[in-house]
C-alpha cells in the first residue's frame, strides 16, 4: 500500500540506506523526497539523529527534524 492510499498524519523516513553501484550513484535525500512527492503530497519528515515524534490526536516532530 502506498502513502497516498494510507493517508498518514505524517509520513516519516527513518533508517535510510542509500545504496549505489559502480554505475549508479547513491540517491540523495532530495532524490528520495522528489520520488516520494511524485505520488504523495501529504506531510513528510526525513529522520535525523535525535529526532523525536509525539503521537496523539496530532503528530509533532521535535529534535533535529527536517520537514519537506
The domain locations on the chain are: 3-67
| Contact status, residue 43 vs residue 9, Cβ threshold 8 Å | yes
List the alpha helices (DSSP H) in 1-68. 3-6, 29-37
Q: What is the pLDDT of residues 10-63, one digit of tens each?
A: 999 999 999 999 999 999 999 999 999 999 999 999 988 888 888 888 888 887
User: What is the mean pLDDT of the segment spanning 3-16?
Assistant: 90
φ, ψ (nearest 5 deg) of residue 9:
-65, -35
| Statement: the pTM of the whole predicted model exceeds 0.85 | no
pLDDT attached to residue 68: 57
pLDDT attached to residue 30: 96
Amino acid at each position: 500500500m502506498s502513502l497516498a492510499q494510507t493517508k498518514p498524519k505524517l509520513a516519516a523516513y527513518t533508517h535510510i540506506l542509500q545504496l549505489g553501484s559502480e554505475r549508479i550513484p547513491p540517491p540523495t535525500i532530495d532524490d528520495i523526497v522528489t520520488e516520494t512527492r511524485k505520488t504523495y503530497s501529504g506531510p513528510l519528515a526525513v529522520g535525523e539523529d535525535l529526532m523525536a515524534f509525539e503521537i496523539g490526536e496530532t503528530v509533532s516532530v521535535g529534535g533535529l527534524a527536517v520537514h519537506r
